[in-house]
Amino acid sequence: TLKRGKDKRVLNGHDWVFSNEIESMIGAPGVGDWVEVRRNDTKLIGFGFYHPHALIAVRILTRSKPPEDVELFATRIRTAVGFREKLFPGAGAVRLIHGESDGLPGLIVDRIGNWLTIQVNSAGFEKRIELITELLQEIVKPEGILFRNDSYQRKLEELEEYVKSIPETDTVGFEIDEFGLKYKVDLIGGQKTGFYIDQRENRRFFRGLISEGDKVYDGFCNDGGFAMNAAMAGAEVMAADISAPALARAKENAELNGLAERISFMEGDLMKHPELIGAGGPYDVINLDPPNFARNKKSAIPALKGYIKLHGMAIKALKEGGILCTASCSHHIREDRFLDTVMEAAQKRNRKAVILHRAFQPADHPILAAMPETGYLKFMVFRIV
């Protein structure tokens, strides 16, 4: 039963109940067990997975009496997969299940090539991982499944971290195609779930910004997606990243696509040494796609200061009228605050930032309107004058 006045957010469609919102508990449910959630007046709200030791005490899955696990999960998996097949037919990589937005809280499933990568961030689904695996094998029929259960979110649910595959293998690598570019994917060695699917549409948009002969800088280049799109449009590109393995994959991808002569690579820590941003400039276009600066609310303020510094160095290295593309992948950084970091950085250098384009995560990473936590990616394009 929830405390008085603590049910409004949940009644409006938010699917998390926090531990400090619970007034009383009947019985002693264990980690990952089903529980009923009721208002203070005992009227039923819904059913969800319970965790007695986590800040997110209940993850609501249904607002009516739940059917058996198999029926509920099978229906939602089929619905989510069918939606992606309709929107992204033939895509080399697509997110099939995006947690709460698909009614499966804490469950992330990507299809990359003919493999699935599964990331479980809730104890409820970790407890039912065998059932989920069986359903995915039946519905999607993948060549293999990789469990990338090494995310920091698992610590919040007191879950152990591990990476394993079905069938067992030490390496999972193959090629995929995205808008005419080929990528060699390393599911085990790559970041996140093996490939940055969420920037797919933004990479394509970025290509359209580039003119033949442009000089482009791609910071935090990872596998080289933005860099290759720029090179494909005729630019000369400098691509930088801290990760030697990521740079090795980026170089391999550039060679695979016949773009190696157009892209130079630089290894360096752009966070500790932001002066490396724009090295070799000035540039016509600079792209920044840094890792998550703010994994919690407490780190949001220092993260914003970090963005100001990064954007300042980028603006310094841009030609008059140059283009700055920048992204944030933390839901703790609001879009308006992210925009402020660009404006402040521009003002400090007596420049102005003109918004040309703003975007967020693609449709296979849907955002549940009542849960801002399901939205995280901001991608903004500016002309710096």
Task: Give the pairing of strands 144-149 and 115-120.
Answer: parallel
* Cα dihedral 52, 57, 61, 64 sign: positive
Judge whether 59 and 105 are in contact, CB under 8 Å: yes
Q: What is the spatial distance between Cα 60 and Cα 41, in angstroms, rounded to a whole number?
A: 19
Between vectors from CA 372 to CA 126 and to CA 363, what angle results, nearest 5°?
A: 80
Question: Hunting for tokens 């970041």 — which residue is that?
Answer: 191
Ranges of H-type helices in the chain: 8-11, 69-87, 123-127, 129-140, 153-156, 200-209, 225-232, 244-256, 300-316, 335-348
d(CA 128, CA 61): 14
Q: Is 325 a catalytic residue?
A: no
Q: One-letter amino acid identity for 50?
A: Y
| CA of residue 184 relative to chain centroid, distance | 20
- The 8-class DSSP code of residue 372 comes to G
Catalytic residue among 136, 172, 323, 329: 329
Catalytic site positions: 329
